[in-house]
Amino acid sequence: MDATEYKTFLTVFTLFNVLSICWCAPQQFCEPGEDASGRCNNGPDEEKPVCSEINLGYCNDLDYSRTIFPNILGQRSRHEVESGAEYLLLSVIHGLLNGECSPDIRLLGCSVLAPRCQDLPNPAPVKSCRSTCEAVRKGCGHAFEGIDMAWPYFLDCDRFFASEQEGCHDPLAPLRARQEVAFSNLSPDEPSTIIQFTYHSNAQMYSVLKRTAAKCSHISRTYSIGRSTEGKDLLAIEFTDNPGGHELLEPEIKLVGNMHGNEVLGRQLLLYLAQYLCSEYLLGNQRIQTLVNTTRIHILASMNPDGYELAAAEVEDSNDPEQQPHHNQEGHELNGWTVGRTNAQNLDLNRNFPDLTSILYRNRRIKRFRTDHIPIPDSYWFGKVASETYAVMKWIRSVPFVQSASLHGGELVISYPFDFSRHLYEERMFSPTPDEQAFKQLARTYADSHASMADNNTERCGASFIRSGGIINGALWYSFPGDFNYLHTNCLEITVELGCDKFPSEEELYPEWLRNKEALLSFMESVHRGIKGVVKDEEGYGIKGASISVRGIRKDVTTAEDGDYWRLMNSGTHIITASAKGYSKVSKRIYLPAHLEKAGRVDFLLKKVPVQPVRPDYHLFLSSSLDTYERFDPYNQFQSYGRSEPGEPREPREPGMGGEPGMGGEWQEKPWWWNYFTQAGVSAPTWLLRNI
């Protein structure tokens, strides 16, 4: 064999050995990069499955005692399980989620890390049921979102769990059995809806709302109307039999709390109300089911989460002995009268809305001037407009709200519009709206259903409401520009002052719930009074924006997208007229009985007519008003507050503000819980990060 043949032989022999090694190498089960992230293991040899006793501290309460190694994740020993980020996560999950979904998440995870061992005919793991995993993820996914954590990969229901047909095991069956026994032992005299009457941080508030929506997903959902100045979600929850959309002739109502960050009782009451509506609906409470099935209820528990954090911090300082000598003692003992009142820009949100009342007073003697749907003047946008105010205005314009209540603190009274005095130099002057009687009835509904508000003998907080029965015209109490809901939309809003203490002690939360629960329910039910109907054209299509007028009341309401409308009115005989541009007017005479239990139905059919030319003097007074109603944020002042859709690039953050991927921004800083894992020395669980 010459030198050339020898080299050829050596090359072929080497290549054969390499191919033999590749053919004989164990199969790689991990996707590229998964082994480093801790998602699976590529061991050099496949080990024979062995059953052994469970000896994992956080998994010893499973309903079986023997597990198998390697486990479902390929971890080969108890030591390997305890050294992994998966087990560490289960050991701290209770603290991370503030006790929510415990021990459900832990038991579910343990059934993957320490699966039940089946000995015969050969040792094999028994996977947990996929349906159990899916139920837990549905009910607990929001809790992970609340702390900006991705759903753990090893709880992937399709990958690590099995169907009932495959003989799966339900690790939560014993837990459910114990819970059923506990509920069956409750006394009938105890409240059926179990609520924790404690204060909630912003994170806890979001968690409660999302958990409630998940529990009652068939009648509820959460959605964000925008963000606060510091970027916190303004998270709302809605209740209806068809969440997510407006239903024809179903009235919409909103309840708003915590506009002033240090007025916190309303915030708590609305959190309790959300939980109550969900639980009582599931328990078959007929009153609640009727309310939810016939009404679309929107609850914004906190309009000012930034201010709340300041107010809550003040309360903590007041309980610190070292801070006592320096603590601001103004106002209630638990909170300064003004600490946290404004938002992060130091703006009072209650005085940040456009002053439409002055425009009304200035033009009310003009015969054809509209006293409804007054547009936002362009000059308003030149001032400081809070992001919270902007979000609420946009929300109000996008939903056809019929009535509303804003929950405040500092007094015990219901005030109703007008809030701004009709005389420039009169600080306290009775200033009724065209809907004075309807507003009084609305205010009376809440005050009379409250445990003590309507009692003139009730001790007040400094103001004098002698013989008022717990209600007052806002301008007669004290004057400030407001009334945006009433003058810009169809919505009638009252202000509920819940009591003297803006930040009452925690022991007072349950008694306050008892005082206000019936009032809140009665107020929501009162939206079903007056009249409702649909305005259609000759082809049967609803007419959007048609006006509904009531003779003697100089304030119209307009129809929603599909031509439906609601008009809150007191009993009596009324002349109702429907009109729309390009259509004929139609009037009807109606009679509303004094004790009508639901709104009367009054429909209109309008015929198309030629559009009449508008007189020059009409344009002089009205064109700017009518043509500018749709001009919302005309100078794009708030584009930076918009939230991009998933997959779209995001705007870059300001220097030093962290940021998220996209458009030149930096990667987001690791969340606060990341230190749990880095300090423990485990492989970095990048699978828990949401933005990678």
CB 387 within 8 A of CB 638: yes
Q: Check if the beta carbon of residue 527 is closer than 8 Å to that of residue 403.
A: yes
Is residue 497 among the annotated active site residues?
A: yes
Q: Where are the beta strands (DSSP E) in 333-469?
A: 401-408, 411-416
Any alpha helices (H) in 506-637, and if so which ranges? 509-525, 616-627
The closest of 389, 400, 363 to 633, measured between CA atoms, is: 389
- Out of 314, 497, 512, 525, which one is annotated catalytic? 497
For the chain, how are helix, strand and coil distributed in percent, rounded to 5? 35, 15, 45
* C-alpha span between 453 and 121 (Å, rounded): 73
The CA R_g of the chain, rounded to the nearest whole Å, is 32
In 3D space, the residue among 407, 141, 411, 191 whose CA is nearest the CA of residue 299 turns out to be: 407
Q: What is the secondary structure of 58-93 as a DSSP string?
A: GGTTSS-SEEEES-TT---SHHHHHTSHHHHHHHHH
Could you count the other beta carbons within 10 Å of the beta carbon of residue 33? 9
Number of helices (H), then strands (E), in the chain: 20, 20
Alpha-carbon span 263 to 501, nearest angstrom? 8
Name the residue with tokens 């969340």: 671
> Measured between alpha carbons, how far is 381 from 463 in angstroms, rounded to an integer?
35
Side chain identity, residue 447? A
Cβ(461)–Cβ(452) below 8 Å: no
Compute the distance between CA of residue 465 and CA of residue 65 in angstroms, rounded to an integer. 69
Which neighbouring-strand residues pair with 16?
none
Element housing 235 (H / E): strand 233-239
Q: Which residue has the tokens 């007052």?
A: 472
Residue 171: both structure tokens together: 């690790």
Contact of 262 with 513, CB cutoff 8 Å = no
Q: H helices of 171-318, where? A: 173-184, 202-215, 265-282, 286-294, 305-318
Which residues form the catalytic set? 497
